Amino acid sequence: KAGVTQTPRYLIKTRGQQVTLSCSPISGHRSVSWYQQTPGQGLQFLFEYFSETQRNKGNFPGRFSGRQFSNSRSEMNVSTLELGDSALYLCASSAPGTSGRGSHNEQFFGPGTRLTVL
């Protein structure tokens, strides 16, 4: 199976612009989560989508939004970019199921999109 893919891999924007990042999950995976990773804050959860519905949301401002399509592909959008939004944005997909030891929460991460805001 192909892994999680994210496009673009690198992006440079200026303050005030908006950006859309794309994620294609592993085939058959219906849950897609987005994370922001920065040197100072580590990896932080943004939101999770399952069957086109936002199921969980992290503690980020409303400038960060996302959506999921019927084929499970997901996009996240950041509006009115700020310098502090410079980060590696990671997408992860998972297929909740059982492993005989309770439900297994393994998430498969993509390579990320590195966003630089100037």
Q: Which residues bind other proteins (CB under 8 A)?
A: 4, 31, 33, 35, 42-45, 48, 55-56, 58, 90, 92, 94, 96, 101-112
CB of 17 to other proteins, least distance (A): 25
What gap in Å lies between CA 14 and CA 8, rounded to an integer?
16
Closer to other proteins by CB, 49 or 85: give it.
49
Closer to other proteins by CB, 67 or 108: give it.
108
CB of 16 to other proteins, least distance (A): 29
CB of 41 to other proteins, least distance (A): 10
Are 20 and 76 a contacting pair, CB within 8 Å? yes
Beta strands in 8-105 (DSSP E): 10-13, 19-24, 31-38, 42-50, 53-57, 64-68, 74-78, 87-94, 97-98, 103-104
